[in-house]
């Protein structure tokens, strides 16, 4: 199959890759760019483990063909850390025990990041609604909501 050129700006860096048109963005991020914080959970957009920010919106990267992302600006979980410091959302998940096995955590954090970009001070109902596309099989969500509230209070929209 013929490959197509794709240019992505990921976590501030520009990447040019040649990919098969049917290749999913999640696989480009993980395999070609070695950004393994974006997880593959279901390949059917049900779990949210692959959530990233693309052009300012939360998207499940298992639903995006690499060619559709050509020219896009993407932020992954690796791009949230700044100057060696964890992002307030990452701190919130640590402080509020918002994770257990951790598999869903990057997607949860990226969905919450997208939410906080739109609403820097969401109430509990808004947080739960903002995370509804992400599944966690371990925590029961209570501490995840507390982690997002913690981050909101610490400037998590940065």
pLDDT digits (tens, 9 = 90+) for 66-90: 999 999 999 999 999 888 899 999 9
* Span 3-20, average pLDDT: 97
Q: CATH assignment of 88-153?
A: 1.10.150.120
Q: Would you identify the CATH topology of the domain 4-79?
A: Ubiquitin-like (UB roll) (3.10.20)
Q: Edge-to-edge strand order for the sheet containing 4-10? A: 13-19, 4-10, 73-75, 51-54, 57-60
pLDDT digits (tens, 9 = 90+) for 109-139: 999 999 999 999 999 999 999 999 999 988 8
Give every CB contact of residue 32 below 8 A, 6+ residues apart in sequence: 15, 17, 19
Q: 85 pairs with which residues across the strands?
A: 82
Token pair belonging to 64: 């995006």
- Binned at pLDDT 50, 70 and 90, residue 158 comes out as low
Predicted local distance difference test score (pLDDT) of residue 82: 87
- pLDDT over threshold 90, residue 156: no
Q: What is the rounded distance in angstroms from the CA atom of residue 112 to the CA atom of residue 141?
A: 13
The residues spanned by each domain of the chain are 4-79, 88-153
Token pair belonging to 74: 């993407």
Predicted local distance difference test score (pLDDT) of residue 144: 96
Q: What is the rounded distance in angstroms from the CA atom of residue 59 to the CA atom of residue 40?
A: 13
DSSP state of 120: S
* Span 24-46, average pLDDT: 94
- pLDDT over threshold 90, residue 151: yes
The pTM assigned to this predicted structure is 0.93
């Amino acid at each position: 199959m013929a490959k197509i050129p794709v240019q992505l700006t990921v976590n501030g860096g520009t990447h040019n890759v040649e990919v098969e048109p049917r290749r999913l963005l999640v696989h480009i991020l993980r395999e070609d760019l070695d950004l393994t914080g974006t997880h593959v959970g279901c390949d059917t957009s049900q779990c949210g483990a692959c959530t990233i920010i693309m052009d300012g919106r939360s998207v499940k990267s298992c639903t995006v063909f690499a060619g559709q992302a050509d020219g896009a600006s993407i932020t992954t979980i690796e791009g949230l850390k700044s100057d060696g410091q964890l992002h307030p959302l990452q701190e919130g998940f640590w402080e509020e025990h918002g994770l257990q096995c951790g598999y869903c955590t990057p997607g949860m954090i990226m969905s919450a990041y997208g939410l906080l970009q739109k609403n820097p001070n969401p109430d509990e109902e808004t947080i739960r609604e903002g995370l509804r596309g992400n599944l966690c099989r371990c925590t029961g969500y209570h501490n995840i909501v507390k982690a997002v509230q913690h981050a909101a209070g610490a400037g998590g929209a940065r």
